[in-house]
Amino acid sequence: MIDSSPIDLNDLAGQRILVAGDFMLDEYIWGQVERISPEAPVLVVNVQRETRVLGGAGNVVNNLVGLGAQVTVLGLVGQDNAGAILRDELQRLGIEATGLVVDARRQTTRKTRVIGGNQQIVRIDRENRQPAPVDFQQTAQQRLAELLPDLDGVILSDYGKGVLTDTVLAALINAARDRGLPVVVDPKGRDFTRYRRATIITPNRKEASEAVGYPLASREEVIKAGRDLCAACETEAILITLGAEGMALIPRHGPPEAIPAQAREVFDVSGAGDTVVAVLALGLARWHDVHRAARLANLAAGIVVGKVGTAPILRGELAAALETETAARPVKTITLPELLLLVPRLRAQGKRLVFTNGCFDLLHWGHIKFLEESKRLGDVLIVALDSDDSVRRVKGPCRPVISAHQRAAMLAALEAVDYVTVFASEQLADLLQTLQPDILTKGSNYPAADVKGRDVVASYGGQVVIIPITDPVSITGLIRQICQNGD
């Protein structure tokens, strides 16, 4: 019987998931193309900036963190700068990076995309595909033995880079399944029997077709492929993603389920598979119900394909979608941890980030004009809103007049504002140093020398822009006037 009771995302928070597989560094080199090289008929890119984000299994980690999971990792990197960056990025997310084992004989998988203007010109891959050495296989088994007592589930993210050898796969799957833990596999290659005994395998249509050796043009063929793979792999279920047609869940025992696609608009399917396995693993770890977990994973996938570029699912987005049972548009009001996940992805899309902060109590036309001018300076405007306690400390016990929740909702309703987060004002310097926005804006009613965070922005090469305020409005004066009129 399929559980149709309401889903509470609080059930998923705190689930302890191991992500094992191929961790990569995605690099983006941004520049302008102004001429052809005199040396050869190729474009010359004048580099302006570079961005780096977690790729491969690292994007699965991003999705899990976005939903409040506790994540541990197991992977293999080289003794190089790319490996160091991967470990730093994991630590920035609050994840212990010792699970990325360093092998001096290997180079970290790195994909570098060169973009001139808005056009990707070339992708440069640096990688090893040789099977992981025997000592790593021994290390993996030892680490798993240490982690297993505290785990709720395992994800195997296989990109075919040699980390998940047959020996490592068998050790991870058998140890986890013997303890009753769900194992979710994002597969690679034609031989799915390598994942024997996994709880569920999640190929797309093309991958499933290659694994069974016949086309999956009809629903009947999709179901047959799922049944054949379940039998060959001794797995509980196969979840085949079908793009615009949604998903097909084929359990080893019981009827198949067709899960319709939830996306309103599809902009980019990259990274959707990472979202599916992340949400699926969390659902299985909590509910042990493959149908329920698959429906939630489908809803999450419908959200991320509506974004441009690879982006993780955020808890607020999934909660909003659950309320309407459709893939709601991305929400604007997000938490600080979600913002820390989001900003690297925005940078990887080449976005110019504008940041401003303030109380925004009793929102008025001056605020709106200021925010519109701020947005014109870049691509994405992030507003950090002072918490109620912060406002009271600065403005006195009678402020704010409007709560942070209501102030955030009003700001998010403005077209100029892309994201709103609530923070404590004393966090400003650390927040700026972590996010490193391209531009920090403030109104001209603040002297330039007194702009908090100015030194931090200057330290990493950012820019502070003072927006002219021609007719300043005093909130304190407005409140006084309201009180006088009331009397």
Q: Which CATH class is domain 352-486?
A: alpha beta
If you average pLDDT over every residue of the chain, what do you get?
Answer: 89
The amino acid occupying position 90 is L
- The dihedral sign for the CA sequence 6, 10, 11, 16: positive
Question: 487 pLDDT band (50/70/90 cuts)?
Answer: low
Percentage of residues in the chain with pLDDT exceeding 90?
Answer: 68
- Whether 274 is catalytic is yes
Strand pairing of 419-423 and 110-116? unpaired
- What span, in angstroms and rounded, lies between the C-alpha atoms of 319 and 331? 10
Give residue 267's pLDDT: 44
Contact 95, 61 (CB under 8 A): yes
DSSP 116-132: ETTEEEEEEEE---SPP
Of 300, 242, 284, 347, give the one whose Cα is nearest residue 27: 347
Homologous superfamily assigned to 9-34+41-332: Ribokinase (3.40.1190.20)
**Of residues 274, 386, 388, 418, which has the active-site annotation?**
274
The amino acid occupying position 350 is G
Q: Is 78 left (phi over 0), alpha (psi -120 to 50) or beta?
A: beta
In angstroms, the Cα distances linking 15 to 12, 180, 284, 286 are 6, 15, 10, 7
Say if residue 268's pLDDT is above 50. no
Of 460, 18, 11, give the one whose Cα is nearest residue 277: 18
- What span, in angstroms and rounded, lies between the C-alpha atoms of 275 and 303? 10
Q: Which residues pair with 381 in a beta bridge?
A: 354
- What span, in angstroms and rounded, lies between the C-alpha atoms of 402 and 422? 14
**Whether this model's pTM surpasses 0.75:** yes
Mean pLDDT of 156-174: 95
> How is the chain split into domains, by residue range?
9-34+41-332, 352-486
Question: 313 pLDDT band (50/70/90 cuts)?
Answer: confident
